Structure formats: C-alpha cells, structure tokens
Structure 1
Amino acid sequence: MLNDQPGNDCFVREQLRTAADTTNQFYGAFFQDEISLSERLTLTVGARYDEFKRNIDFSVIAALPDLQNAEGRSEAVSPKAALAYQLDSGLVYASYGRGFNSNFGPVWQWEPDRYARDEAPTFIDSYELGWKGQTQNKQLSWETALFYLRQTDRRIFIDNPDPEGPPTLATTGQKYSSRGLEAAVRYRPVRSTELLVNYTYLAPEWDELILAGSFGAPDTNFSGNTPQGVPGHIVYAEVSHEFSEQWHGSLSYEWYSDYFVDLSNSIKTGQYSLMNLSVSWFPINNPDLAFDLSVTNVLDEDYFFYFAGSRSAVTNVTPGVPRQIRLGTKVRF
C-alpha cells in the first residue's frame, strides 16, 4: 500500500519536529595596503578580523515541548600577503592567505536530539604561485597558478560513538590538504567572439582522519586517503558571441573526472559532463534592460545517487544539475 497520498493511514502532511528562537551576530573588519617596492615590484599586505556569535532557545525538540539553550562564539584574525612582479606582457606573483570558518553551519544541526557537537573553527592556509599575461594586442590572454592549501579542524559528520547520545556527531580535529594546478586561456579571434578553456587539477588528501569506533570497535584510520566527492580533473570550455548589439549568446561544456565516493577509497566513479546554453537580448530602445534565457544540462544527462548507512561505505556521490530552463530580467537604475 502506498502511503504518500492524503487519506492513507500513514500520510503525514506536516509534523513539527523542532522550534527555536535563533539570534546570529556577525562582525568583521578588513584592511589592506599596497606598497611599491620598485617600478615593477609590489607588495600587498592585509588582515581581516571576524567574530561570530549564535544563541538558540529551543522550545520543541523531537516534536515534544522542551526548553534547552545552545550558544557558540568564534573569532579569528586572518592575514594575507602577496608579492607581484610586473612583466612586459603580464605579471608573476606569490601569495599567502588564511581563511577562517566559524563552523556554525545551519541552525538545524544544533538540534540536541539529532546532533552532538564537538567542534572548533576551521582555518585554511593557502599558498599560490601564478603567472598572468596577454599578447597579440590582447587577443590572447592566460592565467595559470600552482597552489597548496592546508586545512585544520575540518568539519565532518559521523556516527556518534556514544550510545547514550544523539545518533550523529558533528566533529572537527581532522587535518586536510590539497595541491593542484589551475590554467585558463582566453582567445578573441574577432571582436565579437571569445573562446575560453579552463583546466583544473586537484590532489587532495586527508593528512589526519581517525574516526572513533562505535560500541567498543577499534578506531578507523583514513589518513592518507583522498576525500570523497573531489574529482581529480575538471575541464571547462565556453564560446561566447555577440550576434548583434541586441543579441548575445554562449555555449559552455563542463567535464568532471571520476572521484571517490567513500572514505575508504574502495569505489571510484561519478564522471560526468554537462552542456549549457545562454541567450541574452538587450532592447535597443532601453539600454538599462536585459532579458536572459539559459538552459542547464542541455543534453539532459542522467545521474545516480548512492547512499548507505555506514560511514566507511558509499555515502555520497555529487550529482550533476538537472535540466533547468531559466528566464531572467535585469534592470539597471
């Protein structure tokens, strides 16, 4: 018997599981300065301060009246620095920056009946060495960069090893790093047409990922494994053309290689490609108005979503977008 229709015995139209009053406060301040060391050499330095606060008063938990409070506070100073050398046809640069995330997440992940929380803020230290340039009277331009980043206290969700607590534990303390290459080339054979090709290579790794065993089972060490859902190779290509002053169009192609779908790296799949189309119309008598029609996944490619109950089995695959037809209007005033 199907119970997904009104009138069936088990049909539920609405069931309140959680009710809460939430207050979020965010503060930030940023400064940056550029220093000319010579005619060609420039130093950029900066820092950002962030503070996050959250207070939640729960009045309903697991569909029952209950009064509980959850609160959190997180702050950090994130520095940045970059050194750039101007060439005749571009520049080379080296940069460092720190990223910060409070790890608060959505409010429903603080619900004490479903989630236990053992978290700390996430910090990402990123290093980049790059080269940008152009030639042929700006018809050909390129950007390429080598990067390395290291993340501490990365947030993950696991089965709660405490049998007396909520079923899911939001935890940090894990260490993650990634290195790779990004390269992009733009070519404009004529004024009205532009070609773009972008390639990304990613090599992420869990530097430290040790999950506590449940019900007395030994800990599982996933250190050295590749994170889930990260393709090693990504290609993006696009051609855009101005048919007239009123009509512009673009066609893009995306390709993602296979990636691991489980923490133990026993299953690698998920490779897919997408094609997208966009057409814009600008009324000749109203330059402040524009209409855009876009279609994602033009070929209507199918995707599969895998799931399982074990944290070390197949737990997620990143699906591609469905076919979507969007009509938008832009008004400038």
Structure 2
Amino acid sequence: MFGRKRILVTGGAGFLGSHLCEALLRQQHEVLCVDNFFTGTRDNIRHLLDNPSFELLRHDVTFPLYVEVDEIYNLACPASPIHYQFDPVQTTKTSVHGAINVLGLAKRVKATLMQASTSEVYGDPQQHPQKEDYWGHVNPLGTRACYDEGKRCAETLCFDYHRQHKLSIKVARIFNTYGPHMHPNDGRVVSNFIVQALRNEPITIYGDGSQTRSFCYVDDTVDAFIRLMDTDPAFTGPVNIGNPEEQTVRELAETIIELTGSRSTLTYKALPSDDPTRRCPDIELAKSALDWTPRITLSEGLGKTIAYFDTLLSQRDKL
C-alpha cells in the first residue's frame, strides 16, 4: 500500500504506547511493538495480537535492537514516580542508554525518531505557563532526578545526533495524560483518585491540594504524536503536548467524586519531595506547527477513564 510504513514503538505495551499502536494500525501501517513489560502489560495490546500488521517483541531498550523500520517512537521508560523511583538507576539507564540505542538504530536505517520527553524537564517551574524555550528548574540530586535528568539527557542526545549525524528527530514534551490502559497502581492522581472513588475509600491528596496540573486525554496526545512525526523534516521541536486548562488537585478530586457518585472523603498527606506546585503547558507552538489543540473535555475524558477502571476493578473482584 502506498504510504504504508514500518513503525517501531518502544514501550508499546504501556499506557501511551498501546494507544499509539492502535492509532498507527488504523492508518494501515505495520507496527513493531517492543516492551520489557516492567510497567506495560499484554492486556493493553492483547486485542492487537491477531492483527497481521502487528508484531510484539519482548526486549529492553537498554540493549541494542536490530530491526528494519521507517519510523521510531521512543516511549520506553516508566513515567510515574512510584515506578521510576522503584529502580532509579535502571530508570536513568532506560532514558539514556535506551536513547543511545534507538538513535543508533535510527541512524543505521535512516529512520525518523520521535523521542517522548516530558514536562518534568521543566522541574518545579519558575515560568508559568511553561514554554519550550524555558530551561527549567530541576533538582539534579533529588529522588525525581533519575527521570527528570534522564529525559533531559535523552533530549540532549537527540539534538546532538541531529547536529552531528543529520538524523531526523522530533521531541515531544508530554504533560499529564490520562485515559484507559493507565496502571491502577501507578500513583498518578487521575488513576489514584478514580480507583479510590470507585471503592468509596478516602481520596489521598498530597499537600493542601492547591497545586495545579493540566490533564490531556490520551487520544488527543496520540494525535499530537502522529502530527509531530508528519511535520516537515526541518521541524524538530521540542514541542509541548498537553492541555492548557489548569485544575487544582483538589478540584480534580471533587470532580471525580461527583462523576462516580462516590461516598469518598478527602484526606491530606505531606507533599512529596520536589513535587511541582504548578504545571501547565504553553501550546502555541503545537497549535501553529502541528495544527493541534486538545478536543476532548476533562469531563468527557474522565467519564471514559472511569468506565475503564470500573470494568477493570469488577473483573479483578471476580477473580
């Protein structure tokens, strides 16, 4: 088929990766999903296994990978604090060694690489909202540094490969994303709050709940990935991908209680170290370069996510 590509998605069995694989298959591409299943799960991609255009390979990106592809989306890395702080040395290796390996692969096969970076490169920002030219405010010695600095180094590697080897790269800085296929125990506010609300348990808020986040539904985020990959080769990013509508954590908890009809109450605990107080993207570059803005409202996206977790928890309760 004209325009059909062979596309590698590392971290393809994870939350974002599984949705990206689905979207690429809908576009009739061949998709190679690579995952070591540390945080990803076969359940996220089980419905894709019978598709002749889909291939699954169990592999850790900290080791070289020898395949022939046209495009690479490098999403491999645990992205929630609970998971990336479990083995911080391995987290850094995944970001840095993983980037070196996929960049080397892209160089060999002359593929375009999209690096999944993160809003965490901005740290606890002193600029609000955050623009792509902001260098960030990151603690390099803190418990979150394995992820924050690992992703910053991955960006550096991408741009050095681009300058030194003329490699075609795209860098996406992903802000808070939510939706089906999130891990129920990943420690993120959306999944935490929904699971607690569905179980009528107290909803745990760290700090006083006044810290802000912006939440983008997964379908919008994946749409931005594909639009970024399809931009002119001269456009590298980095580009912020997220929803600029800010919510306090307390407001999010109250919205989820209302949508689930839960009897949950709010309980407060100490704020974790280096937890950012404000996080909101400036997406003017995404609007102009990608012709992209989020389309799914928070209430609509939360409704779909709540339905997913309700089904998941019901299935687990039956086991």
TM-score, length of structure 1 as denominator length = 0.26
Larger RCO: Structure 1 or Structure 2 (Cα < 8 Å, ≥ 6 residues apart)?
Answer: 2
Higher strand share: 1
Rg (Cα) greater in structure? 1
Higher helix share: 2
TM-score, length of structure 2 as denominator length = 0.27
